[in-house]
Amino acid sequence: MQTAALYVRLRTAVPAFLACLLFNGTIFASLVSGNDSVYENSGLGYLTVPSLSPGHIVRPSSMFLLPNSVHKGSLEMSFDFQWANVWCYEPGKYMIDGEWIRSNTRIHYGLNDSVAIGFVVPVVGRTGGFSDSTIESFHRIFQLGNSQRDEFARNQCLTTGISNGTTQSFTRGESWGIGDVALCAVVKRPGTRVIPSLTLQFQLSLPTGDDEQLEGLGSPSISVSAVASKRLWSSPVIVFGGAGFFYCEDSELSGMKLHREEYSGLLGIEYEYTSSLSLVIQSLGSSAVAVDYYEFSKPCYELSFGAKWRISDSATVEFAVVENMVSFKNSSDIGMHLAVSRRL
C-alpha cells in the first residue's frame, strides 16, 4: 500500500511542479535581451495529442491539433492515431468499458509563411480490445487496485448510465465511422529572442459523425486554440503553453446535460536532444464536460511524454504515452499516440 500511496502522490505533484517550472522559466526568458531578428522558439513543437478522457469520448474535440510549420505555396499532410483503454465505473451510476481509437487526417495549404488553411477528417472507433488482463496485472503488481474492473467480462465494449432512474446503454459493441469533419485556418508567428513564437488556429466542425454512436456531436461546433513557445536563452530547452476554447450548441446526450463551452490549458517542456530529435513532456487540462453527472462534472488532467523525430527536411514523426493524473475516474487508464507529418 505504501507503493500505491507514493505512486499517487507523485502523479498528483506533477502538474504543480510542471506549472511552477514553466512559469519561472518564462519569466527568466522574458528578461533575456537581444536583437529582434527571427529566433527559433518552436523546435520540433509540442505533441499533437488531443484529450483521451471519457468525457471527450462523449464529446470529441480537436483542440491543439495544429500543424508543425507553415510555408507559402506548400501542402502539409499529417496523420495521427490515438488508442486509449478506458474503465470508469461507479456502481449504480455509470460504466464506460472499452478501447477507443481515433485518428485524424489533416491537410493544410500555406497562403504565405504565416497563414494556412486546411481541413481535418477524423475517424472514430471503439472495440473491446485486448489489454484488460495486462492492465489488471500491472495494477496488482504495484498494488494500485482495479476499481472492480476484474469483476466484469474482459475486453468488452459498453457504455451505460442512469437517466431518469433508468439504466440504459449509450453504446454497445464495436463501431467505426467518420467523425465531424472540420475546416480550419492557422496563423503562425516565429517570435524573437524576447517575444515567444505564437500559433493560432480557428476551427469549424461540421456534424458529419453519428452522434448516437458517439462519433460526432450532432451539431456544428467552433474552437479556437493558441500555443506560445519560448526558448530559454540559447539552450536546447523550450517551454510552451497554450489555451483553447470550444463551443457547441447541442447540450444534451441521452439525458446527460453538457456544457456548451469547454476550456483547455496546455503546459510543457521540449528538450532538443539533437537538431532532429526532441523529448517532450506536457500536461493537458480540460474543463468539465457535463453540468451535473458524477465524475464527468469535474475537470480532467492528462500527462503526455514522448519524442518527436525529424526524419527528413520535410517529414516528422512523433510518439507519446498518455497517462491520467489527479482524478482517475474521468480519464483513460493509459493511451498511446502516433503521428506522421510531411510537407508535400
Per-residue pLDDT at 234 exceeds 50:
yes
**Using an 8 Å Cβ cutoff, are 47 and 282 in contact?**
yes
Query: Considering the chain, what percentage of its residues have pLDDT values greater than 90?
Result: 35
pLDDT at 33: 34
Average confidence (pLDDT) over 308-323: 92
Between 94 and 147, name the one with better pLDDT: 94
Measured between alpha carbons, how far is residue 197 from residues 45, 160, 184 in Å?
11, 44, 20
Q: What is the pLDDT of residue 175?
A: 78
Who contacts 21 (Cβ-Cβ below 8 Å, separation ≥6)?
Answer: 239, 269
Is the model's pLDDT at 133 over the cut of 70?
no
Per-residue pLDDT, 30? 37
What's the pLDDT score for residue 343?
A: 87
Q: Is 81 exposed, middle or buried (0-12, 13-18, 19+ CB in 10 A)?
A: middle
Flag whether pLDDT at 207 surpasses 50: yes
Query: Average pLDDT of 184-190?
Result: 90
Q: How confident is the model at residue 163 (pLDDT cuts 50, 70, 90)?
A: low
Q: 304 - beta bridge partners?
A: 282, 322
pLDDT in tens, 287-299: 888 888 777 788 8
Q: Is the pLDDT of residue 171 over 80?
A: no
CATH of the domain at 157: 2.40.160.40
Question: 95-110: per-residue pLDDT in tens?
Answer: 777 778 889 999 999 9
pLDDT score, position 164: 57
CA within 13 Å, CB half, 341: 24
pLDDT for 49 beyond 60: yes
Query: Which pLDDT score is estimated for 227?
Result: 92
Say how many domains are in the chain: 1
| Cα-trace Rg, the chain | 20
Q: Residue 38 pLDDT > 50, yes or no?
A: no
Q: Which domain holds residue 198?
A: 2-343
Which sign does the torsion angle of CA 252, 256, 257, 258 carry?
A: negative
Band (pLDDT 50/70/90 cuts) for residue 266 is very high
pLDDT at 337 over 70: yes
> What local confidence, expressed as pLDDT, does residue 51 receive?
85
pLDDT of residue 128: 65
pLDDT at 4 over 50: no
Cross-strand pairs, 239:
230, 269
Question: What is residue 9's predicted lDDT score, i.e. its pLDDT?
Answer: 42
pTM above 0.85, yes or no: no
SS3 at position 113: coil
Which pLDDT does position 55 carry in this prediction?
75
Q: Which of 127-131, 260-264, 296-300, 309-313 is least confident?
A: 127-131
Q: What is the mean pLDDT of the chain?
A: 77
